[in-house]
Amino acid sequence: MTPSGDYYEILGVSRDASQEEIKSAYRKAALKNHPDRNPGDKEAEEKFKAASEAYSVVGDPQRRAQYDRFGTVGDVGQGGIPWDSGLFDDFADLLGGLFGFGDLFGGGRRARRPQRGADLRHDLRLTFEEAFTGKDEEIKIPKEEPCDACNGSGSKSGQRITCSACRGRGTVAFRQGFFTVSRTCPQCGGEGEIVRDPCQECRGSGRKRSQKTIKVRIPAGVDTGMRLRIAGEGDAGEKMGPPGDLYLFLEVEDHPFFNRSGEDIFCTVPLSFPQAALGTEMVITTLDGEEKLNIPAGTQHGHRFKISGKGMPRMGNHGRGDLYVGIDVQTPKRLSKEEKNLYAELMQLEKEREERGSGFFRKVFARLAEGR
Ligand SMILES: [Zn+2]
Ligand SMILES: [Zn+2]
């Protein structure tokens, strides 16, 4: 029976609340008290179960009408929430698939058909250069593989018999507090059937945990945050079901000299005052060779030169991005006596030019004086 009180009270809604209000009240209570969020908190778990029970009744218009009239709903009082009624799926949908229900209440709604194997994740770190060239990689991952001894069937002969523990139902019921929960049958794993002569190697599961080495080709141009899907390299499926996929999560290391944004690569080179003023030619060591860069006279600090087609390879496309070389004009910190004299001479020349009225500051001051 339900010592937990009035279902409307549990959900904190009035007796004439709409189905939408009830749904949203339950959703709130369930998210707050779900055991996944409150590990070890018995009170939260009880609240969660109570709210779920309440919702299983008043969340369904027909059952709600019955509850309103009789103050009870038969199957809840006698046997907990009827999980095979389909409400289980509603709950999961309601919570946006955030949490599992199966483990908490025993679930017991396993499909009897072959199941697809799980997808697997593997994180892979690449250097900047490896991302540029692409790479053949050998990855070792622990995963479920079809059992050799039985070819994945779980049985030598393939013969199956009805499970004696659950008489083919796939679930067994037992009492837990005021709930009677049905739980996946431990003997047959919810299938309702067992193999007559289970394979010794895999104990009838058809799968064996093993370490597999997979060769993958990482294409040139990959970047941090990309995922590569390798079809069929996830866990083997249960009962000869199809395998899952393997996902490689990529992370590309930083480079001491180059940065990238998409397919373009950026770098900065230092330039002295005289080089910037007089112009020069420099050689940039790119990721695939050397590039001559002509720096014209009068190049400004912060200017960016573009070297077309010397960036990262475009994935799935032909061609490459561009390389941008930024200029960092450096002010000398220590000067020799001779350099000091030369700079002083330069300053004197600049001063004279100012006084003739063509200097930069002269112009600024003139404008200020005119009020512009
Ligand atoms: Zn086997
Ligand atoms: Zn069974």
Tell me which residues have their CB within 5 A of the ion that is ligand 2: 163, 165-166, 185, 187-188
State in Å: Cα 97 to ligand 2 middle.
27
The structure tokens listed for 287 are 């990721």
Dist. CA 230 → ligand 1 center (Å): 25
Which residue stretches of the chain are H helix?
Answer: 7-11, 19-33, 42-58, 61-70, 74-79, 87-94, 102-105, 128-133, 273-278, 337-355, 360-370
What phi and psi values does residue 7 have, to the nearest 5 degrees?
Answer: -65, -35
Looking at residue 239, its pLDDT comes to 72
Walk along the chain (372 residues) in steps of 10 and give the mean pLDDT of each run: 71 91 88 79 84 84 84 55 46 50 44 74 95 94 90 79 86 71 80 82 85 93 93 86 91 95 95 94 92 95 95 88 96 93 92 75 64 58
Q: Which ligand is nearest to the CA of 162?
A: 2
Paired tokens of 241: 């079901």
pLDDT computed for residue 369 by the predictor: 63
Nearest CA among 139, 142, 145 for reference residue 236: 145
Residue 300: predicted pLDDT: 96
Neighbours of 328 (CB within 10 A): 12
Collect residues with CB below 5 Å from ion ligand 1: 147, 149-150, 199, 201-202
Overall residue count recorded for the chain in this entry: 372
Query: Using CB atoms within 10 A of its CB, is residue 191 exposed (0-12), middle (13-18) or buried (19+)?
Result: buried
The model carries a pTM of 0.56
Distance CA 7, CA 63 (A): 12
Calculate how far, in angstroms, residue 200's C-alpha sits from the geometric centre of ligand 1: 6
Q: Collapsing DSSP states into helix, strand and coil, what is residue 170?
A: coil
Pick the ligand that lies closest to the CA of residue 167. Answer: 2
CA of residue 56 to ligand 2 center, whole Å: 26
**CA 212 to ligand 1 centroid distance, Å:** 17
Q: Select from 93, 206, 98, 88 the least CA-distant residue to 150.
A: 206
Measured CA to CA in angstroms, residue 101 lies from 97, 107, 174, 326 at distances of 9, 7, 17, 56
Contact 131, 223 (CB under 8 A): yes
Smallest CA-to-CA distance from 57 within 72, 78, 79 is with 72
Per-residue model confidence (pLDDT) at position 103 = 42
